[in-house]
Amino acid sequence: MLLYALRRLIYLIPVAFGVSLLVFALVHLAPGDPISAIVPSDAPKELVDKLKEYYGFDKPLPVQYGRWLLVTLSGDFGTSIGTGRPVLQEVGSAFGNTIILAIGACLVAFSLAIVLGTAAAYAKSRIVDRLVTSIALVGVSVPHFWLAIVLVIVFSVELGWLPPMGLGPENATGWRLDWPHIKHMILPTIALSVIPLGVMTRTVRSTVKEILSMEFVTALHAKGMNDRQILLHVLKNAAPTCLAVMGLQAGNLIGGSILIETVFAWPGTGFLLNNAIFRRDLPILQGTTLVLAFFFMMLNLTVDVIQTFVDPRIKRG
Amino acid sequence: MAIQSPSLDLGGGAGVRATPAAQVRGYWQQVGRRLRRDPVTLVCAVVLLLIVASALAAPWLGLADPYKTSMIRRLYPVGSPNHLLGTDELGRDMLSRLIHGGRLSLFMGVTPVVCALLIGGLLGITAGFMGGRVNMLIMRIMDVFYAFPSVLLAISLSGAMGAGAENTLLSLTLVFIPPICRVSESVTTQVRGFDFVEAARASGAGTLAIVRVHVLGNVLGPILVYATSLISVAIILAAGLSFLGLGVKPPEPEWGLMLNTLRQAIYVNPLLAALPGVMIFLTSICFNLMSDGLRAAMDVKA
Amino acid sequence: MDRGGSAQPLLLARDLRKHFPIAGGLLGRATRVVRAVDDLSLSVEKGETLGVVGESGCGKSTVARLLMRLIKPDRGTMVLDGDPVDQPHGITVNELRRQVQMVFQDSYASLNPRLTIVETLAFAPKAHGLPSAEARARSRDLLAKVGLDPVHFADRYPHELSGGQRQRVNIARALALRPRLVILDEAVSALDKSVEAQVLNMLADLKSEFGLTYVFISHDLNVVQYLSDRVMVMYLGKIVEIGPVDAIYSDPQHPYTRALLSARPSMDPRKRTREAPIQGDPPNPIDPPSGCRFRTRCPFAEGVCAKAEPLLTDTGAQEVACHMRIKGSGHTRAP
């Protein structure tokens, strides 16, 4: 199993290079002269020269890529044009905020999905099944950023119960586990959780249904096992597929939180990315994309490896 | 944003005694018949038809000019005289903008999927059928794109290239090519391993004939189902990009962009601010239900 | 089309080898191989039915696919009626496939579910240049020949037919190109017994009507005995015994053949099976035993069996690969 993990890691290396190449190319995708894309036209000459030297724009492209790669691998992700702070630091703190939101959304979405999906698969009445399927459908179809706005309208504008934006109350720095901060978390978490809820509910329902139709469940009934024990068996069989999809969804949440964070001005990586795009802060754009992409890759790898542990049918290595 | 793979079901099953000649039914005819009988799919088809038809016919429906601003008549509520759905923050008629907005929103959603279907489908089928080095090369390149969550990829590409409809179309197409390619490859590889394909090879036929007659017919179905399930994702993603200011540029009417510009109105006229999202939601649900219906209809067991 | 006359074998295969690599190790390189077929030689005479028997995993299906060149052999040569196959001065693989056709085991999976029966049958002739109308006409004739009324069956889909009917279609498909040799890979194994009998009789009729040669692969010894002129027994990628059907069935000489034949339940209540004829588990084609591959399950194995591999030796009626029959092999029972 460890061998499999190692093998997958080695396979990742060319992909990782490809990813870094793509991120590097982003700068050059931008319209116009790369320098003017990074730096406003009235920037001081020293900054322009320093950036030219830093990025090596006078050298041929492969050399530029090589230098950028080496610099990045050494931990220097560059400096933000907007704030002047190191990119890694900005991304790091923003990443923490995104993770908080993502964890909340995952907890809500996955636990609800398991309950709803299993209930729908077991349900004898078609009404229950229809209800759950409809909820899942809504989750998958609703534009989550629109839902966020609607939530703000209902709960902040009309009812005034929950704050419409921000990480915490005014003058608060960082995040703490206390009620005011949780109040700020509720709406974004709900908005973020709808899509994973929809997808996971469908997945759990179809997986459990498929397992229930398998002959071994009938065999367990015939042996006299009670329903609760059978449920445990069923869930154990459903676990590998569901875990894999959960991992994918979690990754998508972290990479795709930008829309929700924009609506709520939540200072996560998505919000950072948004600002970076509008300020043409390309070091932040590159750094954030790189960090998020690598995180996503590592997450997928972990999910794959865990799946081999959990699902004995998969023979690897 | 979730992009999932379907499972392949060619409709096997134990053979039955041959039925009298009058009841011979081909596969696609069966699919069509099931679709026509499913009430949910029919309703969605009708709704979608209405939306699409009104969007296409928008310039000739006698609506108000969607670009005409008016500083006096800003943010009129729903149900105002002359403005059935009110006016937006620049005084433009909402009903007209919503219907005209459908043109762009639908176009931005459907076109990338169609392009990605053509390109990704071709790549995937080639990779699946040829196997070996060609397969490895194509799939490794796709892996690089797959390393990004789709939303992130779309935003980074659009962010780098700049706002505008053409850039959005390009970046969305690039985002959808890898998943379609992956599904096509997996389905094609599966079909290639089937006995009847081996039998076709054993008959000494050329590769092109085998692909055309035996592979394509069995592969296009699942790929098509998957692609239709992506349309709703594309519409939401395109709207999301416009919402962030990365997609369609003002003053064009587009549902996502309208959601953005109307945000300032949520304290004044919340219902108005939510309207464009209702259209996105409706369209998205209909496409999803139709895609589900198509998948169920194709799940033909003899 | 007959080139060399009746004395020349229709198909000659020499030293065919096929090993399948299994991915393993850090970089996914092949570290181990499945030795499916190892230096196997056989000849198929014109007009005969050569039966091939053996357990699962012995390589019979691989041999079938090698003979049709659906898989490329790692080593070895093939000669079809005097013409080398896939060699500079011989015939191409495509030409081989006009003369050699195959019927697969799974009758449902061998038919494209999206095509009608007549379309499936017409595919191969059309691909080889026959005009569409002629191809369809020929297909209808073939359907009649295999006992399916073209009026009823031509425009049906595979899922509307029963297993036996589908297998008849598969046989018709194999005949569509007017081949000389038909390889039947477990073609009747999945059918009900009554249907199987009908199909077997039909195969015999077709053989005489079209002057065909058959290679009949099966694990069912009774069926092989019914249909074959000669029988070839395979074990772990090698031939262990080959000879006329009567010789093999009345006087099997290899311990494996004897075990296979004695494992058949008898209809005579006096003949009871008291013990398992073969000891041990079916071995792994990845790491076959050294020397004689059967030695791990052979009750007569001795030291020499592990050291040297017995070659096929003529013992009069048939050929056997066993040290007990090879003169001076060192085995205590050798002549």
Q: Cβ of A7 and C28 within 8 Å?
A: yes
Q: Let me know: does C81 contact C3? Beta carbons within 8 Å.
A: yes
Residues 6+ apart with CB under 8 A from A39: A47, A48, A51, A81
State the pLDDT at residue B231. Answer: 92
What are the φ and ψ backbone dihedral angles of B121, each rounded to 5 degrees? -65, -45
Q: How many CB atoms lie within 10 A of CB A244?
A: 18
Q: Would you place residue B203 in the very low, low, confident or very high pLDDT band (cuts 50, 70, 90)?
A: confident
- A177: pLDDT strictly greater than 80: no
Q: Let me know: does B75 contact B89? Beta carbons within 8 Å.
A: yes
Q: Tokens for B189?
A: 């590889």
Closest residue in A to B157 (Cα–Cα): A26
Distance (Å, whole) CA A273 – CA A261: 10
Residue type, C35: R
Distance (Å, whole) CA C322 – CA C334: 9
Chain C residue numbers with beta carbons less than 8 Å from the beta carbon of B14 are: 163
Summarize pLDDT for B61-75 with one digit per residue, the tens: 777 787 888 888 777
Q: Would you place residue B245 in the very low, low, confident or very high pLDDT band (cuts 50, 70, 90)?
A: confident
Q: Cβ of B143 and A262 within 8 Å?
A: no
Place of tokens 């069989």: A237
State the pLDDT at residue B7. Answer: 43
If you average pLDDT over residues A187-213, what whole number do you get? 91
State the pLDDT at residue A197. Answer: 94
Q: Would you place residue A26 in the very low, low, confident or very high pLDDT band (cuts 50, 70, 90)?
A: confident
Q: Could you give the 3-state DSSP secondary structure of residue B214?
A: helix
- Partner B, chain A 165-224, Cβ-Cβ below 8 Å: 195-196, 198-199
Name subunits touching B (3+ CB pairs < 8 A): A, C
State the pLDDT at residue B24. Answer: 44
Q: Cβ of C177 and B198 within 8 Å?
A: no
Name the DSSP class of C213.
E
Task: Give the strand pairing for C238-244 and C213-217.
Answer: unpaired
Burial class (CB in 10 A: 0-12, 13-18, 19+), A54: middle
Summarize pLDDT for B72-90 with one digit per residue, the tens: 877 777 777 777 788 888 8
Buried b or exposed e, range B215-226, using 16+ CB within 10 angstroms: bbbbbbbbbbbb
Q: Let me know: does A282 contact A273? Beta carbons within 8 Å.
A: no
State the pLDDT at residue C168. Answer: 92
Distance (Å, whole) CA C156 – CA C150: 10
Facing C127 at nearest CB: one of B12, B21, B205: B205
More confident position, C85 or A181: C85
Chain B residue numbers with beta carbons less than 8 Å from the beta carbon of C176 are: 203
Chain C residue numbers with beta carbons less than 8 Å from the beta carbon of A3 are: 26
User: Which of A2, A4, A6, A7 should one mutate to test binding to chain C, selecting the residue with the greatest count of C CBs within 10 A?
Assistant: A7
Facing B202 at nearest CB: one of C97, C116, C162: C97
On whether any CB of chain B is under 8 Å from the CB of A276, the answer is yes
- Partner A, chain C 6-45, Cβ-Cβ below 8 Å: 24, 26-28
- C275: pLDDT strictly greater than 80: no
Q: Cβ of A296 and B285 within 8 Å?
A: no
Facing A142 at nearest CB: one of B263, B270, B281: B281
State the pLDDT at residue A301. Answer: 84
CA–CA distances in Å: residue B177 to residues A122, B153, C38: 37, 12, 44
Nearest partner of B255 among B281, B221, B217, judged by Cα: B281
Query: Where do the domains of chain B lie?
Result: 102-296
Nearest partner of A121 among A47, A223, A36, A211, judged by Cα: A211
- B22: pLDDT strictly greater than 90: no
Name the DSSP class of B211.
I
Q: Would you place residue B12 in the very low, low, confident or very high pLDDT band (cuts 50, 70, 90)?
A: very low
Q: Let me know: does A102 contact A299? Beta carbons within 8 Å.
A: no
Closest residue in B to A158 (Cα–Cα): B267
If you average pLDDT over residues A282-309, what whole number do you get? 83
Chain B residue numbers with beta carbons less than 8 Å from the beta carbon of C123 are: 200, 203, 205, 209, 213-214
What CATH fold (topology level) applies to the domain A87-310? MetI-like fold (1.10.3720)
State the pLDDT at residue A37. Answer: 56
Buried b or exposed e, range A222-239, using 16+ CB within 10 angstroms: eeeeeeeebeeebbebbe
Q: Could you give the 3-state DSSP secondary structure of residue B60?
A: helix
Cis peptide before B251 (omega within 30 of 0): yes
Lowest mean pLDDT among A45-49, A85-89, A117-121, C38-42: A45-49
Residue type, A26: L
Q: Cβ of B280 and A14 within 8 Å?
A: no
Name the DSSP class of C295.
G
Summarize pLDDT for C287-304 with one digit per residue, the tens: 788 888 888 888 888 888
Q: Cβ of C24 and A317 within 8 Å?
A: yes
Lowest mean pLDDT among A142-151, A291-300, B106-115, C1-10: C1-10
- B23: pLDDT strictly greater than 50: no
State the pLDDT at residue B34. Answer: 81
Distance (Å, whole) CA A102 – CA A35: 35
Q: Cβ of B218 and C151 within 8 Å?
A: no
Summarize pLDDT for C83-114 with one digit per residue, the tens: 888 888 888 888 888 899 999 888 888 898 88
**Tell me, what's the ipTM?**
0.82
State the pLDDT at residue C214. Answer: 94
Chains A & C: contacts with CB separation below 8 Å: 8
- B20: pLDDT strictly greater than 70: no
**Residues of chain B contacting A, Cβ within 8 Å:** 1-2, 4, 140-141, 143-145, 147-152, 155-157, 159-162, 232, 236, 239-240, 243-246, 259, 263, 266-267, 270, 273-274, 276-277, 280-281, 284-285, 288-289, 292
Chains A & B: contacts with CB separation below 8 Å: 145
If you average pLDDT over residues A29-55, what whole number do you get? 66
- A255: pLDDT strictly greater than 80: no
User: Which of B191, B195, B218, B300 should one mutate to test binding to chain C, selecting the residue with the greatest count of C CBs within 10 A?
Assistant: B195
State the pLDDT at residue B8. Answer: 43
Query: Where do the domains of chain A lie?
Result: 87-310
- B119: pLDDT strictly greater than 90: yes
Q: How many CB atoms lie within 10 A of CB B213?
A: 19
CA–CA distances in Å: residue A289 to residues A29, A293, B87: 15, 6, 39
- Partner B, chain A 76-135, Cβ-Cβ below 8 Å: none
If you average pLDDT over residues B276-290, what whole number do you get? 91
Q: Let me know: does C209 contact C125? Beta carbons within 8 Å.
A: no
Q: Cβ of C27 and A7 within 8 Å?
A: yes
Facing B194 at nearest CB: one of C94, C109, C177: C109
User: Which of B3, B5, B48, B148 should one mutate to test binding to chain A, selecting the residue with the greatest count of A CBs within 10 A?
Assistant: B148
Q: Cβ of B159 and A276 within 8 Å?
A: yes
If you average pLDDT over residues A205-216, what whole number do you get? 87
Closest residue in B to C68 (Cα–Cα): B202
Name the DSSP class of A291.
H
If you average pLDDT over residues C46-50, what whole number do you get? 92
- CA C86: distance to chain centroid? 21
Lowest mean pLDDT among A67-71, A99-103, A313-317, B219-223: A313-317
**According to the per-residue pLDDT averaged within each range, which of A70-74, A169-173, A300-304, C50-54 is highest?**
C50-54
Facing C156 at nearest CB: one of B24, B196, B209: B24
Residues 6+ apart with CB under 8 A from B264: B89
Task: Give the strand pairing for C181-185 and C213-217.
Answer: parallel
Q: Would you place residue B14 in the very low, low, confident or very high pLDDT band (cuts 50, 70, 90)?
A: very low
Distance (Å, whole) CA A30 – CA A100: 32
What are the φ and ψ backbone dihedral angles of B108, each rounded to 5 degrees? -70, -20
Chain B residue numbers with beta carbons less than 8 Å from the beta carbon of C170 are: 199
Q: Tokens for B70?
A: 């008016």
Closest residue in A to C24 (Cα–Cα): A317
Q: Cβ of A7 and C24 within 8 Å?
A: no
Q: Could you give the 3-state DSSP secondary structure of residue C13?
A: strand
Distance (Å, whole) CA B282 – CA B52: 12
Residues facing residue B20 across a β-bridge: none
More confident position, C88 or B123: B123
**CATH code assigned to B102-296:** 1.10.3720.10
Chain C residue numbers with beta carbons less than 8 Å from the beta carbon of B12 are: 108-109, 113, 159
Q: Let me know: does A78 contact A286? Beta carbons within 8 Å.
A: yes
Q: Could you give the 3-state DSSP secondary structure of residue A49?
A: helix
Summarize pLDDT for C204-239 with one digit per residue, the tens: 999 999 999 999 999 888 899 999 999 999 998 889
